Amino acid sequence: MEFNALPINEKVANNVRRVESVVNTAVRGYEKLASLVGGGRKGPYDDKNFEFVGGARDNLRMKHYDKSLRLLWKAEHHLPQGNFRDMTKDEKVFMSQAKQTLNKKERIQIDRFSSDEYKELINREYTQEQKQAIINILSIIGHGEAYAWMVAAEVLTDCKSTGGRAALTMQVLEEAKHFVVLRELMLAWDCEIPRFTVWEYIVLERTLKSTGMEKFFGMNVVVENVAMGIFGMLGELPGLEILKMFHLDESRHTALPYNYFEEMPMTWWQKNSPFAQFRRLMMVLPAVPMMASLEKDMAVLGVDSLEFGGAMLRKIAHMKDRVGFNTFIPSSVLKEFVNDAFNVYASYSRPDHTTRRFVEADTVMGEDMQAIEKELFDLYSTGKKVSELASRKILDWRNAA
């Protein structure tokens, strides 16, 4: 390529470079000093290495950002009766081609959700009492998604490394999608959408007010497990199949703290600070009265809220141990305490109640979602990395056995 290079004054150009270098040293030096007293550079970005502070961490990027993009689902496709227009032209062409390969019965199955027939479907399938119970239960996570969106956006500003930020960026996007899609879905049910219960309010506000990466505990360990439990419980019901897509996203989010801290481990103090341990415990305990608040609505759907709560607590305890979020009370004791509390409540509220192991129950429906959770929790319990490589190895081993 031929360019008509313009003449420059080399001497001036060198002086300009030198002045910039001196001012740069002065400004960076001042910022470094100021950072010792809480001021200094705000952006945790390392321009010398073209990375965010914390390094590249490509593992995190691949496990969460790349994987999220691969599994990204479009609301326009899964909730065609909504007003979302998020599919590209190519995706629409692909979908219409895919549709042509379906037989008549399968096409009817898909088309029924793409028209006003959706409302007819839910009115045919559910009584008003059942509809309201479903909306009451879904509202817990509807509000929860709004907080997950806010919390993820804050964690994004606090987390380190390029891979970590890429992972959190996808979580912010997915929580935003969860909130707006779930809202649209719930509004179509023509039911009153209740406010927060105070138990939920406490957990979510405490999560948002937690500092730095401690937010991972409230959000990815506690709230995501509640979400997975609710989506897992409702995702097989007619008209609610889209919740399986949510369940898939949330299972990936619950693995994020483990993967993140494996790359950038917590300090001893972050794990064991008495203040942090107390706060974590106070975030888990409101789940006990919350299950009593949910009992009536879940009972309408044939689900025992104490079994739901027991399963949820067991999963939270499991994940918090694996990640290293200590609480004063060890998980095995915490589980017994919660089991006792549920039994005390049941013996007071249910005639003929005999003591049961609520913490060993499970309320996840359908083979797909059960398989996802099994894989997730097996990986946690065998102490393997939550990665595709490790999961492949374990699955191979399981098949061989």
Q: How far is the CB of 275 from Fe ion (least distance, A)?
A: 26
Q: Cβ of residue 220: shortest distance to Fe ion, in angstroms?
A: 7
Judged by CB under 5 A, which stretch of 19-27, 62-70, 200-208, 220-228 contacts Fe ion? 220-228
Least distance in angstroms from the C-beta of 148 to Fe ion: 5
Minimum CB–partner distance for residue 66 and Fe ion (Å): 17
Binding segment toward Fe ion, per CB under 5 A, in 189-197, 219-227, 318-326, 351-359: 219-227
Site size for Fe ion (CB under 5 A): 7
Q: 119-128 contacts: CB < 8 A, separation 24 or more?
A: 119/188, 119/190, 121/238, 121/239, 122/188, 122/189, 122/238, 122/239, 125/237, 125/238, 125/239, 128/191
Q: Which is nearer to Fe ion, 234 or 292 (CB)?
A: 234
Single out the residue of 249, 257, 80, 95 nearest to residue 179, CA to CA: 249
Shortest Cβ distance from residue 215 to Fe ion (Å)? 12
Query: Does the protein bind Fe ion through residue 206 (CB under 5 A)?
Result: no
Nearer to Fe ion, 167 or 338 (CB): 167
In 3D space, the residue among 185, 229, 209 whose CA is nearest the CA of residue 319 turns out to be 229
Residue 312 or 334: the one with the smaller Cβ distance to Fe ion is 312
Measured from the CB atom, is 152 or 292 closer to Fe ion?
A: 152
Nearest residue (CB) to Fe ion, 225 versus 331: 225
Q: How far is the CB of 364 from Fe ion (least distance, A)?
A: 16
How far apart are alpha carbons 225 and 296 in whole angstroms? 21
Q: Give least dist CB 225 to Fe ion, A.
A: 10
CB atoms within 10 A of CB 352: 5
CA distance linking residue 149 with residue 341, whole number of Å: 32
Residue listed under structure tokens 């942090």: 276
Q: How far is the CB of 199 from Fe ion (least distance, A)?
A: 19
Query: C-beta of 146: minimal distance to Fe ion in Å?
Result: 10
Looking at the Cβ atoms of 171 and 339, the one nearer to Fe ion is 171
| Distance separating alpha carbons of residues 111 and 149, to the nearest angstrom | 31
Q: Which of 309, 336, 322, 326 is nearest to 377 (CA)?
A: 322
Please report how close the Cβ of residue 55 comes to Fe ion at its closest, in angstroms.
Answer: 25
Contacts 24+ apart (CB under 8 A), 189-193: 189/122, 189/131, 189/134, 189/135, 190/119, 190/131, 191/128, 191/131, 191/132, 191/135, 192/132, 192/135, 193/135, 193/139, 193/142
For residues 165 to 184, the per-residue mask of contacts with Fe ion, x marking binding by CB under 5 A and - elsewhere, is ----------x--x------
Using CB under 5 A as the binding rule, the residues of this chain from 257 to 286 that contact Fe ion are none
**In 74-127, which ranges are continuous DSSP H helix?**
75-78, 89-100, 104-111, 117-125
**Which 121-160 residues touch Fe ion, going by CB under 5 A?**
145, 148
Q: Which is nearer to Fe ion, 73 or 126 (CB)?
A: 73
**Residue closer to Fe ion, measured from CB, 77 or 178:** 178
- Binding to Fe ion (CB under 5 A) within 25-54 occurs at none
- Residue number, 234 or 341, with CB nearest to Fe ion: 234
Separation CA 316–CA 49 (nearest Å): 38
What DSSP character marks residue 101? T
Part of the chain binding Fe ion (CB under 5 A), chosen from 244-252, 288-296, 302-310, 345-353: 244-252
Q: Which of 239, 140, 117, 277 is nearest to 199 (CA)?
A: 140
74 binds Fe ion (CB under 5 A): no
Does residue 253 bind Fe ion (CB under 5 A)? yes
Q: Which of 272, 81, 266, 253 is nearest to 174 (CA)?
A: 253
Angle between helices 388-400 and 367-381 (to 10 degrees): 100
- Of the listed pieces 62-70, 216-224, 319-327, 332-340, which binds Fe ion according to CB under 5 A? 216-224
Q: How far apart are CA 189 and CA 131, in angstroms?
A: 7
- Nearest CB to Fe ion, comparing residues 322 and 335: 322
- Report the run of H or E that residue 45 belongs to, with start and end: strand 45-46
Question: Smaller CB distance to Fe ion: residue 146 or 338?
Answer: 146
Report the alpha-carbon distance of residue 36 to residue 248 in Å, rounded: 43
CB of 224 to Fe ion, least distance (A): 5
**Chain contacts with Fe ion (rule: CB under 5 A):** 145, 148, 175, 178, 224, 250, 253
